Copies of this chain bind each other. A is one copy, B any other.
Amino acid sequence: MSIARIGILTISDRASRGEYEDKGGPAIHAWFKRVLTSQWEAVAKVIPDEQPLVEAAICELSDVQGCCLIVTTGGTGPALRDVTPEATETVCSKMMPGFGELMRAASLKFVPTAILSRQTAGIRGKSLIVNLPGKPSAIDDCLNAVFPAVPYCIDLIGGPYLETDPDQCKVFRPAHAQSKP
């Protein structure tokens, strides 16, 4: 059985220079560790908010590292240096607007500034790329909202069969996709 590789990409000028401890990446790692029961391993990177570097990092995690899922943290706001959604869109062949819509709707229950997040998601080859916020508490809210649909999405693009602890996160697959291949 193939081990699922998950790319965790922290996009932050300050974290990449070591001026600031990366909290987003470890928060994502802790969420997957708590939720996933099938075998997986993380491929983590920390890079600055430079669009060509973000694009190159996503491509490497997808094309070379073979990650079925790549989650980013940071760089989704309106500020000049926030370029994560543009980089994501550039390297994806298909966009998945439902992810950003649901993550913003979920975050709106907590803060009205959720609409400032430009998070998106898309497909590159056999990888699903999902932008998450920078703040650890918002990361959990967003993963809780969208992850129930992620394993079936990865099935559909030809990736490994992800399984979760249903007490932590209930995954949904249609009846015909519920037995492990």
Contact mask for chain A residues 72-90; partner B; CB cutoff 8 A; 1 contact, 0 none: 0000011110100110000
Q: Which residues of A98-143 have CB atoms within 8 Å of chain B's CB atoms?
A: 98-102, 104-105, 108, 111-118, 120, 123, 128
Give how many copies assemble into the complex. 3
A30 beta carbon closer than 8 Å to chain B:
no
Tell whether, in the assembled complex, residue A100 and residue B102 are in contact, meaning their CB atoms are under 8 Å apart. Answer: no
Contact mask for chain A residues 133-164; partner B; CB cutoff 8 A; 1 contact, 0 none: 00000000000001011001100111000000
In the complex, A92 Cα to B146 Cα: how many Å?
29
Q: Which residues of B contact A152 (CB under 8 A)?
A: 113, 116
* Given the contacts A101-B101, A101-B104, A116 and B153 also touching, CB distance less than 8 Å: yes
Tell whether, in the assembled complex, residue A113 and residue B78 are in contact, meaning their CB atoms are under 8 Å apart. Answer: no
Q: Which residues of B contact A157 (CB under 8 A)?
A: 78-80
- Point out the residue from B97, B105, B111 that lies within 8 Å of A100, measured CB to CB: B97
15 additional A-B residue pairs with CB within 8 Å, beyond A97-B100, A111-B174: A78-B94, A82-B94, A85-B94, A95-B118, A97-B104, A97-B118, A98-B100, A98-B116, A98-B117, A102-B108, A102-B115, A112-B148, A112-B149, A113-B148, A116-B153
